[in-house]
Structure 1
């Protein structure tokens, strides 16, 4: 099952010249959000961004609308766009829900997981490691979310897989704006570890690992942040 993730597959180490102008601006703003150069709640005025990127306000509006569809930006009538700002309670509730569901499904995953499926998941984790090594933080977030959805899909419960797909989309946004590199790195547990436990058929240990993993990510979030100042867009995007 493929879940819609708020980050697209285009976040990769491709040459800027290979991208359209709109796509490059989209990726520049996306990376600035994920890398915390644009903090949650920061206003994104069309005129200032249009000047920085030397394009029309219509062009910037298109990019902001795309980011809004992916829930990285919120747009309100008469207030314009700003970086999405999930509340602290939302962040805690999303991870609390995941901690209830994902560990509980580890016995079913252990029972049904075939060697070929675990091999495919190992390849996905290796992609995640590569993204981390190359500093592609947003790509690592995307791959981490995909791993969780594909792992839970092995339990063969479509309703719960859809629920986890929804929750990972929301938690990916939360990690992007409130997390750090540690939130998707080995500090919170290497995904290879749970695959090793599944290989051994150790469902209780896999459930315990998943619970601790999600708790570590939850603890890594910095949800209590001050109101952001007006940013220097030229410095952020080096224009």
Structure 2
């Protein structure tokens, strides 16, 4: 069997099992539910970038086999929320500076481009749903519920993309929004999400008015504002003074 065919079958198996359609241990949570639990913990920063995800510990927590947990971790790795390292296992992905910049560049290209279509397709029901989501996010920010606000913001952007009707791009935006939560955890400033509390409300009103061009421009400013709020730079590489460090041992 060719390497490309093996990879395709492996990916298909991971997606099937992680979606909960494959077999699972009796009494344990479904794989899709476990995937959502771990994903939410990462997005909400309850699991920090770099945190190790031991298969045996997770299997014990969720009451399933390590094989099932491995499939969930593989799915999360496909979405770049988890990093799998030989002999070290799984850990929450810690985005590099280049990755952080790439994610926001991709979001600018995709999300801004979807606003014109969304403005044409949006319904009254969509507008009310978005207003409810924005209200929940404002309340979370007001109550200093950082984790909830981060999750709600990511969900808002994903829902906006869904309204465009392009499912493939909507899924991509959802993944980018999730990865952005990791970037916020690594490069963000405590107590600040980058989003102004009224930004999403302003965006909703532009879409409700059918003004796709202005909505696109506003989305661009919105995303650039989030990126500008981050401290995205490489930590300088330090050369330790070994003589000083080990002087006590001399």
TM-score category (smaller protein): 0.5 to 0.7
Q: Does 1:120 align with 2:141?
A: no
Against the structure 1 CA distance between its residues 177 and 35, is the aligned structure 2 distance closer, same or farther, given a 3 Å change threshold?
A: farther
Matched with 2:141 is 132
Answer yes or no: is the 8 Å Cα contact 1:144–1:184 preserved in 2: no
Q: State the partner residue of 1:182.
A: 192
Mapped to 2, the partners of 1:81 and 1:165 lie a distance apart of: 22
Cα separation, 2, equivalents of 1:129 and 1:84: 28
Deviations 1:188-230 (CA, angstroms, capped at 9, x unpaired): x621010011122221111100011111111222233648xxx
Q: Distance between the aligned counterparts of 2:114 and 2:148, measured in 1? A: 26
Mean Cα deviation higher: 136-145 or 162-171:
162-171
Runs of 5+ in structure 1 lacking a partner? 1-25, 47-56, 228-239
Q: Which has the larger radius of gyration?
A: 2
Distance 1:74 1:134 in 2: 33
Name the CA shift for 1:62/1:186 in 2 (closer, same or farther; >3 Å): farther
1:55-103 deviation digits (Å, cap 9, x = unpaired):
xx96488679889976666463444676531111111111101101111
Query: What residue in structure 2 maps to residue 170 of structure 1?
Result: 179
Structure 1 distance, partners of 2:140, 2:75, is: 24
Which runs of 5 or more structure 2 residues have no equivalent in the other structure?
Answer: 1-36, 62-68, 237-250
User: Relative contact order: is structure 1 or structure 2 higher (C-alpha 8 Å, sep ≥ 6)?
Assistant: 1
For 2:235 and 2:46, locate their aligned partners in 1 and report how far apart those are by CA, in whole Å: 17
Instruction: Give the drift of 1:152.
Output: 1.3
Measured in 2, the distance between the counterparts of 1:120 and 1:151 equals: 10
The residue correspondences of 1:1-239 to structure 2 (distance < 5 A) are: 34=45, 40-41=49-50, 59=57, 74=83, 76-79=85-88, 84-180=93-189, 181-186=191-196, 190-224=199-233, 226=235
Contact 1:75 1:81 in 2 (8 A): yes
Query: Is contact 1:124–1:147 with CA below 8 Å preserved after alignment?
Result: yes
Q: Tell whether the 8 Å contact from 1:107 to 1:204 is kept in structure 2 after alignment.
A: yes
Q: Once the two structures are superposed, what CA deviation does each residue of 1:122-170 show, in whole Å capped at 9, x if it has no partner? A: 0011111111122221211111111011111111112211221222222
